[in-house]
């Protein structure tokens, strides 16, 4: 498994790409309200990226092996959609929860992040699922350190999700990132502590747990991209791009509006 160790110059470019990605998520938040369509969310993000930031939306026409080109600039995953939701004519309704997943290319480097948004006031279970998923992501991030392992990240996420009565999607994972959208290593959101590849300073990858309120099983829709829960239960996802540093970690996808990290005691004991 060839893992790219980023140089100081590359890390600076990844910081820029990460900040710009987060700023797209800042920008779109106020527009997410009842009545807006996911197509409109996509259009607003696309225009902000291409006209204001002068960045490239990486998902647009992205076609990994076995997939047809993704037709939009962001992914919008509503309620029981796990990931890769294709924007369309669906109007958001009060009580919905939605994940918006943004990847920008700036100066040839990728930034990748996603956030959950509430449409009005969500049901109690939906809010709790989104909160626990956020804590899962941060517990995974806090497991990042030189000499730690990929299994430490997955174990922290899995333990917290299952303790809360939720399940971890296993078909999709985080990934290395840099000049290419998807690089090695794969970052599983479940696993055993002290197992798997050891982490080294200069590694950059995403941590993006997908957590279901019901069973972990998923299926893909006929559009070839949208993934939903098999039991139609709610799903949530949060994502950051993370750098392994000599002292621990640095989250690269941060901006003025990035939600703060949860209190570590609260997250670990919830």
List pLDDT tens digits, range 4-30: 999 999 999 999 999 999 999 999 999
Domains, the chain, in order of start with CATH, read: 8-252 (3.90.230.10)
pLDDT of residue 1: 58
What string of pLDDT tens digits covers the 270 residues of the chain? Answer: 589 999 999 999 999 999 999 999 999 999 999 999 999 999 999 999 999 999 999 999 999 998 999 999 999 999 999 999 999 999 999 999 999 999 999 999 999 999 999 999 999 999 999 999 999 999 999 999 999 999 999 999 999 999 999 999 999 999 999 999 999 999 999 999 999 999 999 999 999 999 999 999 999 999 999 999 999 999 999 999 999 999 999 999 999 999 999 987 454 433
Give 91-122 as a DSSP string. BP-TT-EEEEEEEEEETTEEEEEEEEEESSSP
Give 188-228 as a DSSP string. -SS--TT-SPBP-TT-EEEE--EEESS-S-EEE-TTSS-EE
How does DSSP classify residue 29? G
pLDDT of residue 264: 72
Q: How far is residue 140 from each of residues 33, 54, 78, 157, measured CA to CA in Å? A: 30, 32, 24, 6
How does DSSP classify residue 4? P
For 117, the token pair is: 């948004």
| Per-residue model confidence as pLDDT tens digits over 39-53 | 999 999 999 999 999
For 225, the token pair is: 């991209």
Residues contacting 268, CB < 8 A, separation 6+: 139, 160
| Residues paired with residue 239 on neighbouring β-strands, in sequence order | 114
Q: What are phi and psi of 161, to 5 degrees?
A: -60, -45
Q: How far apart are CA 1 and CA 175, in angstroms?
A: 13
**Is the distance from CB of 209 to CB of 133 less than 8 angstroms?**
yes
pTM (predicted TM-score): 0.96
Q: How far apart are CA 183 and CA 4, in angstroms?
A: 8
Q: For every residue of 140-180, which 3-state class applies, written as one string?
A: HHHCCCCCCEHHHHHHHHHHHHHHCCCEECCCCCEEECCCC
pLDDT of residue 265: 45
């Amino acid at each position: 498994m060839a893992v790219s160790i980023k140089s100081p110059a590359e890390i600076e470019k990844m910081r820029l790409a990460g900040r710009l990605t987060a700023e797209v998520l800042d920008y779109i938040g106020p527009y997410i309200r009842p009545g807006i369509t996911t197509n409109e969310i996509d259009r607003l993000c696309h225009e902000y990226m291409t006209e204001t930031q002068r960045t490239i939306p990486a998902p647009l026409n992205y076609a990994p092996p076995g997939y047809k080109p993704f037709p939009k600039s962001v992914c919008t995953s509503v309620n029981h959609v796990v990931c890769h939701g294709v924007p369309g004519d669906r109007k958001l309704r009060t009580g919905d929860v939605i994940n918006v997943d943004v990847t920008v290319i700036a100066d040839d480097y990728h930034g990748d992040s996603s956030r959950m948004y509430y449409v009005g006031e969500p049901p109690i279970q939906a809010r709790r699922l989104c909160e626990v998923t956020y804590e899962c992501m941060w517990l995974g991030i806090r497991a990042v350190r030189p000499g730690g392992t990929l299994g430490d990240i997955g174990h922290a996420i899995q333990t917290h999700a299952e303790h809360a009565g939720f399940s971890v999607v296993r078909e999709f994972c985080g990934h290395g990132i840099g000049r290419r959208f998807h690089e090695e290593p794969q970052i599983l959101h479940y696993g055993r502590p002290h197992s798997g590849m050891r982490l080294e300073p200069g590694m950059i990858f995403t941590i993006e747990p997908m957590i279901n309120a019901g069973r972990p099983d998923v299926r893909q829709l006929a559009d070839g991209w949208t993934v939903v829960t098999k039991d139609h239960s709610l799903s949530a996802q949060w994502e950051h791009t993370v750098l392994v540093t000599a002292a621990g970690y640095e989250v690269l996808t941060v901006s003025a509006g990035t939600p703060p990290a949860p209190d570590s005691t609260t997250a670990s004991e919830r």
